[in-house]
Structure 1
Amino acid sequence: MTVRLPRPDGGLREYEPRAEPLALTGGGPLTSRTVFSAAHVVADPYADTTPDGPAAVDWDATLAFRRHLWSHGLGVAEAMDTAQRGMGLDWAGAAELIRRSAAEARGVGGRIACGVGTDQIAGGTLPEIRAAYEEQLAVVEESGAQAILMASRALAAAASGPDDYLDTYGHLLRQASEPVILHWLGPMFDPALDGYWGSADLDAATETFLDVIAAHPDKVDGIKVSLLDARREVELRRRLPQGVRCYTGDDFHYPELIEGDEQGFSHALLGIFDPLGPLAAEAVRTLDTGDTTGFRTLLDPTVELSRHLFQPPTRFYKTGVVFLAWLAGHQDHFAMVGGLQSARSLPHLARAYELADGLGLFPDPELAADRVSSLFAVYGVAR
C-alpha cells in the first residue's frame, strides 16, 4: 500500500511503508548503563473536558505503556515533562499518576523515579515554594519511588540569585530519605525556566549547580541535564563528585553521550526513549557486550527522528511522542490531555511517521499506515 503524506508546501507526496518492523532480539536487564524512559500519559478521549480543566487519564492504557517499557529492561521516569507536567497534567493528576505507577512498578519489579516539583502553586514566596517541594517529595517517597527534583517555575520567578537556589535545594536534600536525581531543564523545554540556578549565563549557572551537589554528594544519585549542548554536558560530567552519575537528557546527542569517552559516559533519562523503547534497549544491551560499533549502528539512525520531534518549539515534542504511540498500537486514539494533539502541523506529523516507519519502530506497519491515513483523511487528504 501507499500513503499520501502532506508536504510543508501544501502539496501531497506518495510514500510506501516498509513491510516488516525492525527485528529485535530482546534479552535481560541492562547492565552497563542505567536507562530511564520518560513516559507519556494516555488521555481518556471520551471524557467531557476542556483544555484548561483537570486532565482525564486512561489509567489502563497509561499503565500498560509503562509495563511495555519495563518489559524491555528500561526504567520509567514518571510524572516528568513528557507526561505533560505543566502542559495539561496538574499536580493532582501527577500525584495520582505517581501512586499508580509506583504500585505497578512494585508488582512487576520495574525501576521507577518520579518528578518532584512545585506545580500545585503558580508562584509564591521562597518558604511557600519550599513547602510545595516538600509536599511532592513526601508523595514520591511514600510511594516507594526514587525522587527527581525538577526545576521549578515558581522558584525561577522568586529567586533573587544563586543563594536562593543553594538554600532551597540544600534544605530539600537534607530532608530526602534517599539519594535523588537533580534535573536541570533548559528554557528550550520550558521558557519559564530561563535563568535557572540564578543566572542566564550558563557558565555561572553551572557553578551554582555544582555547588549544590558538592555540598550534599551523599544525597545526589545523579543529575539529568536537558540543555541540548553535548559539550557542556561532557564538561559538567567530568566535574561531578565520585559516585554522582550524569543522566543525559540531550535528545539531540544521546548516542555519543551514552557511549562516552576515555573519561566517562552518561547514563540516560530521555523523552525520546518513549517511542524508541525496544530499539534503545537493544542498543544498550549491545553496548553491554562492549560492542560500541553495534551500539552506534542501532542508535545513530534514530537521531534524525529525535531532532525532528524536538525541533522548536521544543516543548511540543510530546505531541509527536503520543502520535507515534498511537501509530505503534500502544493506544487506540490520538487524543492528548489539554488538547495538545493540535500542537504540531500535519506536515510535521507526516515526517515523524515517515522517519519512524523507516526505522521499523511500528510492530504492525500496516496498522500504522492505516491510522496515519485515517488522520490525514479527516483533514481532506484523499485515501
Structure 2
Amino acid sequence: MRIAIPNETGRTETYELVARPLPAGDYSRAFNRRVFSAAHVVVDPFTQSNPGSDAPIDWDATMAFRHHLHSLGLGIAEAMDTAQRGMGLDWKGALELIRRTKSELPDALVYSGTGTDHLDPKDVRSLDDVDRAYANQIEAVQAAGSDVILMASRALAASAKGSQDYVRVYRKALALCDRPVILHWLGDMFDPALAGYWGGANFDEAMETCLEIIGENAAKVDGIKISLLDKDKEIRMRRLLPPGVKMYTGDDFNYPELISGDDVGFSDALLGIFDPLASAAAFAMSQLASGDKQGFHQTLDPTVPLARTIFRSPTQFYKTGVVFLAWLNGFQQHFIMLNGNQAMRPLPYFSEVFKLADQCGVLRDPDLAIHRFKQFLAIYGVEGNA
C-alpha cells in the first residue's frame, strides 16, 4: 500500500504503509490505573455558526465517540480543552455536552470540566466575581450527575494579586463540591492566558501554592492533573502529594514512563492524546494490569513520536491533529472543526501525523485512511497516487 505525500520541502515522496493496526479484540477492561480520555467534539458542518451563536455540534457523532471510549473501558474527561473548550465550545455548549454524556452513559466514569469560562476576564471587578462563576458551574455540573474537574480559570489568572488569592478562591470552590474533584494545572503552552498560574514566579513557588491548596482541602481532592509537558516536574510533585491524592498525568510527551511509574509511585492518566490513541491506550493498560509491563511499553512507546508531533508548538492547536485522526479512522464523516481550527496546521504536519499513526498501528482501517488522506491532499492540489 503506497501513497505519495508532501514532505517539509513541499515535494512529494512515496510512502509505503506498514498497515498493521493494533489489536482491537477482547481484553480485560480491569485496569490498575485510572485512565481518562479527554474527548473531542464533532462539528455539524451544515449548521451556520456566527459570533455569539451556539456551537454547531453533531450530537450523534459526538456521542457515538463517547460510547466508543466507554466500550474500551476508558473514563471520559468531558468538555475539556480537547473539546475546544474556550476555543469554540462555550459554557452553554459544554453543559449540554455534559448532560448528554451523563444521560446516555449513566454507568460510565465521567468527570467534567468545570470552570469560569462564561466570565470574561475583562468583566472581573473582584474575586467575588470569580467565586460566583465557579459556583455557577459547579452547581450545574453536579446537578447533571457528573463528577468535577476543577479547571484553571483565565479570570482568576487575570485578577489574582498573589498566591493567597488562589488559596482563597479554591477554598471556596472546593467547599461547594459534593465529591472529591480532580484539579487541573494547565500550562501556558496550552493556554497562554494561564501564564503565572497559582501566583508563583516559577514552578517551585507555583507548586508550593498548589500543594498548600491540596493539603488544606485533601478530603475534597481526588487528584490533580498537570499538563506542563515536563516529566521531572510531574514526578517531583507526585512524590509530595498527600496520601490518597492521585497524580493524573497530562504529559502528552512522556505518558508511558509516567503511567508505568518507578519504585516510588506512578501517575494515573487524563490525556488528550488518549482520544486518538484510545484503542492503543486501552490495550496497553490491559497489558499493564496483567503484569506485562514490557508489553505495555511495546504497545505505547511507539505512539510517543505521534503524540509529540500532534502536540508540537504552538501546542494549543493540538486539537487539529486529534480531529484529523478521528476523521481518518472513520469516527466522523468530515474534517471540519469549531472556529475553522482544521486550518491551524500546515500540510507537512498532516503528512507526518499520517505516517506516524500508521507506524504505531493506530490507523484502524488503512484503506479508509489512504482514501481520506488522498481526498484531503486534493484540496491542496496534491495528487496522492504513488
Separation (CA, whole Å) in 2 of partners of 1:376 and 1:159: 47
* Equivalent residue, structure 1, for 2:95: 95
| Alignment correspondent of 1:12 | 12
Residue aligning to 2:269: 268
Q: How does 1:1-383 map to 2 (within 5 A)?
A: 1-50=1-50, 53-106=53-106, 109-123=107-121, 124=124, 125-383=126-384
User: Aligned AA for 1:336?
Assistant: M
Residues 64-89 of structure 1: CA distance to partner in whole angstroms, max 9, x if unpaired? 00010110000000000000011111
Take 2:297 and 2:271, find their aligned partners in 1: how far apart are those partners? 17
Deviation at 1:339, TM superposition (A): 0.7
Query: Greater CA deviation, 45-54 or 193-202?
Result: 45-54
Amino acid at match of 1:111: L
User: In structure 2, what residue type is equivalent to 1:302?
Assistant: T
8 Å contact from structure 1 (residues 247, 269) kept in 2 = yes
The whole-number CA distance in structure 1 between the counterparts of 2:250 and 2:281 is 14
Aligned partners of 2:19 and 2:358 also within 8 Å:
no
Write out the 4+ residue segments of structure 1 that deviate beyond 6 Å after TM superposition. none
Is there any run of 5+ residues in structure 2 with no aligned partner, and where?
A: none
Aligned-CA RMSD value: 1.2
Determine helix, strand or coil for the equivalent of 1:211: helix
Deviations 1:182-212 (A, max 9, x none): 0000000000000000023110000000000
Mapped partners of 1:174, 1:157: distance in 2: 23
In the alignment, is the contact (CA less than 8 A) between 1:51 and 1:337 conserved in 2?
no
Q: 1:14-39: per-residue Cα shift (whole Å, max 9, x none)?
A: 11223442224432323310000000
Q: In 2, Cα distance between the equivalents of 1:168 and 1:330? A: 40
- For 1:279-330, what per-residue CA distance to the aligned partner results, in whole angstroms no more than 9, with x for missing partners? 1111111110112111111110000000000000001000000000000000
Q: Is the 2:80–2:112 contact (alpha carbons within 8 Å) kept by the matching residues of 1?
A: yes
Once the two structures are superposed, residues 336-367 of structure 1 have per-residue CA deviations (whole angstroms, 9 ceiling, x without a partner) of: 01110001111001110111112221221101
Q: CA deviation at 1:10?
A: 1.3
CA distance in 2, matches of 1:223, 1:203: 16
Q: Which amino acid aligns with 1:120?
A: H
Shift of 1:4: 1.7
- CA distance in structure 1 between the aligned counterparts of 2:286 and 2:311, rounded to whole angstroms: 25
Distance in 1 of aligned mates of 2:151 and 2:26: 32
Deviation at 1:53, TM superposition (A): 4.7
SS in 2 for 1:188: coil
Residue pair 1:225, 1:249 contacting (<8 A) in 2 also: yes
CA distance in 2, matches of 1:279, 1:179: 29
Code of the residue aligned with 2:118 in structure 1: it is Q
SS at match of 1:154: helix
Alpha-carbon contact 1:156-1:195 (below 8 Å) kept: yes
Q: TM (normalized to structure 1)?
A: 0.97
Counterpart CA distance in 2 for 1:369 and 1:11 is 18
Query: 1:136: how far off?
Result: 0.8
Q: In structure 1, what residue type is equivalent to 2:119? A: I
Alignment partners' CA distance in 1, 2:139 and 2:51? 29
SS class of match (1:303): helix
Q: What SS does the corresponding residue of 1:14 show, helix, strand or coil?
A: strand
Aligned partners of 2:20 and 2:358 also within 8 Å = no
CA drift of 1:143 comes to 1.2
Residue segments in structure 1 that go unaligned for 5+ positions in a row: none
Identity %: 54
- Inter-partner Cα distance in structure 2 for 1:23 and 1:95: 35
Once residues 30 and 151 of structure 2 are traced to their aligned partners in structure 1, the CA distance between those partners, rounded to angstroms, is 25
AA partner of residue 82 (structure 1): T
- Secondary structure, aligned partner of 1:268: strand
CA distance in 2 between counterparts of 1:7 and 1:342 reads 17
C-alpha separation between the residues in 2 aligned to 1:11 and 1:184?
A: 41
TM normalised by structure 2 equals 0.97
Following the alignment from structure 2 to structure 1, what is the Cα–Cα distance between the partners of residues 272 and 163? Answer: 28
Please, which moves more after superposition, 47-56 or 214-223? 47-56
**Alignment partners' CA distance in 2, 1:269 and 1:243:** 17
The 10-residue stretch of structure 1 (370-379 or 353-362) with the greater mean CA deviation from structure 2: 353-362
The question of whether the paired residues in 2 share the 8 Å contact of 1:36 and 1:75 is answered with yes
